[in-house]
Structure 1
Amino acid sequence: MMTERTAEHGPDSPEDPSRAEERVALLALGRLPKIGPQRSRMLVDHCGSARAALSAPDTDWEAVLGKSTLQRVNRSDNLHWAHEQLRRLEDRGGFLVVWGDRDYPSWLAEAADAPLSLYALGDRRLLQPPAVAIVGSRRCTSYGKRVSTQLGSDLATAGVTIVSGLARGIDGAAHEGALHAGGATIAVLGGGVDVIYPRDHAKLYRQIQADGLLLAESPLGTPPERSSFPRRNRIVSGLAQAVIVIEAPKRSGALMTARLAREQGREVFAVPGEITNPRCAGCLSLLRDGAGLARGAKDVIDELKVHLPTAWGDEMPQARSIDDANPLLEALQSGEHGVESLARQVGQSVGHVQEALLRLELVGRVVRLPGQRYARAG
C-alpha cells in the first residue's frame, strides 16, 4: 500500500502574480531551441529571473550564450504560447512544475540538465522521494516481464514510487506491478503528457493518470520522436534514487538510462539473466562492471533504507529463510520438474505456481532450467 508522504507540496500561492508570471516565463524560456536547460538557468541567473531574461537586450544573451546561438533564437511570442499551454494543461486537470517550485522533484533538481518545466497529470505528491526506476527491453521474455511486475509490486508495497517510461515490455510490467499492489508509479513520457504512446497502453495510461502520475518535458500535443527518448531517460533516472535494469541488450535505451544514473550519482542494479540470451547481455555487462545484484526487492531496499519512509522489516525472505516445507520445494526434492507437473503435484493453478517459482528464484532457492523446467538450488 502506498504510504502517505510526510509533507504537502504545491506550487507557490496563485495569489502571488509575480511568481505565477515567472513560472510562465520559465515555460516559455524552456521552449527556445539551441539553448537547453543548463544554459537557460545560466541566463536566468545572469538576468535575475526568467521574465527579465525574455525581455533582456541581445547583449545580455550574447554574454551568456554567444553570438552564434543568439542568431538562431527567436524570442517573439513565446509568452503567449506559454500562457496557452498552461491553460490547455489546466483544462485537462493537469498542472505545471517548474524550476524553483517547492514541489520540483528534489533529486531531479540535482541534475545539471534538469528540465526547466514538467507537464503533469495525476498525483503531485509523488514528485518527492523515495522512488526507484525500473527499465529494460520492450521485447522482453516472459521471465523478464514477471520479474519486472514482481519488483514493481514489492517495492511499491514498501512505499517506494516506481518510475518508468510507459513503453511495452519491462516498463509496462513495472507500472502494472505497482498499481496492482495499490502503490505509486510515475510514467515519464517521450512526447507530450497528453499523447498516449504506445497506443496499446491507453488503459495503463489512464490508470496511471488516476492513481499515479504522468510527466513530460515536451509541450502538449508533441508526438514522440526517436530523439526525444534519450531526453526522457535522463528524467527517469533523475527522479529515482536507484535504477534497476531488467533484460537489456548491449545497445539499448535501458543501458543509456543506467549510464545517466551513474553520472547522476544514483545506485544502479541489474537482474541477472541467461548468459546465452542477447537480451540479457547488457545486464550481465552491468553486473561485471560493478552494478548491484537485484535478486528481489530486498536487495534494493537494503541499499536505500535511508531514503525510505518506513522500514522494510522482515517481509521479504532472505535467501535461506524459506521453510523447506514449502510444497514446491518438497516437490522439487525428487529432481527437476516442469511448471505443469508442479502445478498438478501441489494442486494449484499454473499461474499461481509460476508466481511462487519466481519468488523462490529471486531469493535463490530454485533455478530455472531450459524448457521452463525448475530444480532446487544447490
Structure 2
Amino acid sequence: MSPELEAQVGVTHDRLTLLFILDGLKGFGPQKFKALHDHAVDVEAVVRNPEHLPLPGKTGDQLRQALAGLTDAERVLAHDRAARQLVSAADRGAQILTYDHPAYPRKVFVSNNPVPVLYARGDVQAWNGGKAVACVGSRNIREPYSGLQSRFAAHAAGAGAVIVSGFALGADTVAHRAAVEAGGATVCVMPGGLDRPFPPENKELFEQLVKTPKVAFLSEFPFGTGASGMNLRKRNKLIVAAAAGVFIGQSSSDGGAMNAFRFALEQRKPVATFLSDGTGDTSGNQQIEAETKVPTVAFPTETNPEAWDAWLSRLS
C-alpha cells in the first residue's frame, strides 16, 4: 500500500488494520475507542500489549483476554480488510476518517456514538461549515408538511446551518434538495457502503450530489456493505450524533423517523416539529409536542422564519 494512496484516503494501512482488529472484538464499541483516545493510549500499544488497555473491571479483563488471544489468522483478516477498504476509497475519491483526521465531525466525537471509523465522499469539509441540524421525517411526507420541510431546510441552510439527513425518499430527499437549491451545505448519512447508493430510487440523485460543492456523503459502514434494518437504525443514530438539534417535519408515531426522536432523547438534543393535524400521519408530531425530557417545539403549519430562527439560535 503506497504512502501516496494512504495520504489520499487519510489513514495508513497499518492504523486501519489496528482499528479493525479492535472493532472485531465483541464489546469493543465506540465508547471504548473514545476511552482510549481520552486516555491518550494509542491503538497500536493496546494491540501489542493488552495490559495498556485503560478499562477497569470485568469488561476490561475480558477485552484484555480477547486481545491476548488474537490469532494470526484474525490479524491477517483485518490486514486484508483494511487493504480492500483503502483501495475502494481511493477508487472513489473517498476519505476514511478516524478521530485524528481533521475532517472527522466534532459533534460525532463528543456524542454517545463516537464511531471510530467513518467513510466520506464528496465535500468532506461540508459539516464543518456551520451549525448542523438534522432534518428528517416520513418517507410519505405530504402537504402542507412537505412544503414546510423544504422551506425550513432552505431557510436554515441559507442562514448557514448544515442540513444533515438520511437520503431516504420523502422528507430526507426534500431536505437535501432544498439545502442545495438554497446554496447551502448538506450531509447525506447512508445506511450502507458509499459504493452502494440507497435507496436505489435515489441513485441518480446520488451521482449528482456526490459531485456538488458543499455536499458530503457519510457512513459508518465499509464499502461493500448493503443496507439493512439494523443499519438504517444505526444510520439514524449517526444523523442525530452529527447534529446540534433534530427537526422532524412529519411522522406517524410508529414511523422510522421516530427513531431519530428517540436518539435525540438519548443524546439530550432539542427537537422541533410542526403542529399535528390530528391524523395518524402526524401522530409522531403530537408525541414530540408532548415530550418533556428534552426541549421541544411545534411550529405552526405555516412559514414562520422568525420562529425558526429563534429555535436555530438556541442550538449549541
Please state which band the TM-score falls in when normalised by the shorter chain: 0.7 to 0.9
1:148/1:21 CA distance change after superposition, 3 Å = same
- Contact preservation (8 Å) 1:258, 1:268: yes
Equivalent pair of 1:39/1:65 in contact (CA under 8 Å):
no
1: CA distance, partners of 2:42 / 2:14 = 7
Paired with 1:168 and 1:146, the residues of 2 have a C-alpha distance of: 15
CA deviation profile, 1:14-58 (whole Å, cap 9, x unmatched): 49x9x7467424642464153221123445667921223333358
> Percent identity of the aligned residues?
26
Partner Cα distance (2:126, 2:146) in 1: 24
**Structure with greater Cα Rg:** 1
Match of 2:251 in 1: 248
The aligned amino acid for 1:198 is P
Q: Does 1:116 align with 2:120?
A: no
* Closer, same or farther: CA 59–119 of 1 in aligned 2, 3 Å: closer
CA distance in 2, matches of 1:207, 1:133: 21
The change in CA–CA distance for 1:76 and 1:95 in structure 2 (over 3 A counts) is same
What pairs with 1:286-325 in structure 2 (closer than 5 Å)? 286-290=288-292, 291-295=296-300, 296-305=304-313
Residue 40 (structure 1) aligned to one of 33, 50, 65: 33
Q: Kindly indicate whether residue 49 of structure 2 is the aligned counterpart of residue 64 of structure 1.
A: no
Residue of structure 2 equivalent to 1:208: 209
Task: Give the Cα separation in 1 of the matches to 2:313 and 2:14.
Answer: 37
CA 1:68–1:307: 2 relative to 1, 3 Å:
closer
Q: 1:134 to 1:86 in 2, by over 3 A?
A: same
Q: Distance in 1 between matches of 2:236 and 2:15?
A: 24
- Could you report, residue by residue, the CA deviation over 1:58-79 in whole angstroms, capped at 9, with x for unpaired residues? 8959862616983997742213
Q: Deviation per CA, 1:301-341, whole angstroms, max 9, x where unpaired?
A: 22333779xxxxxxxxxxxxxxxxxxxxxxxxxxxxxxxxx
One-letter amino acid matched to 1:194:
D
Q: What is the count of residue pairs matched by the alignment?
A: 293
Equivalent residue for 1:187? 188
TM-score by length of 1: 0.69
> TM-score normalized by structure 2?
0.82
2:280 to 272, 275, 278: 278
Q: Unaligned regions of 5+ residues in structure 2, if any?
A: 1-5
Q: Gaps spanning 5+ residues in structure 1: where?
A: 1-12, 309-378
Change in CA separation of 1:297 and 1:81 when aligned onto 2, cut-off 3 Å: farther
Please identify, of 142-151 and 167-176, the stretch whose mean Cα deviation from structure 2 is larger.
Answer: 142-151
CA gap of 1:63–1:137, structure 2 versus 1, over 3 A, is closer
Quote the Cα distance in structure 2 between the aligned partners of 1:157 and 1:230.
29
Residue equivalent to 1:76: 75
Higher relative contact order by CA 8 Å / sep ≥ 6: 1 or 2? 2
CA RMSD of aligned residues (A): 3.1
Change (3 A) 1:168 1:280: same
User: SS where residue 39 of structure 1 aligns?
Assistant: helix
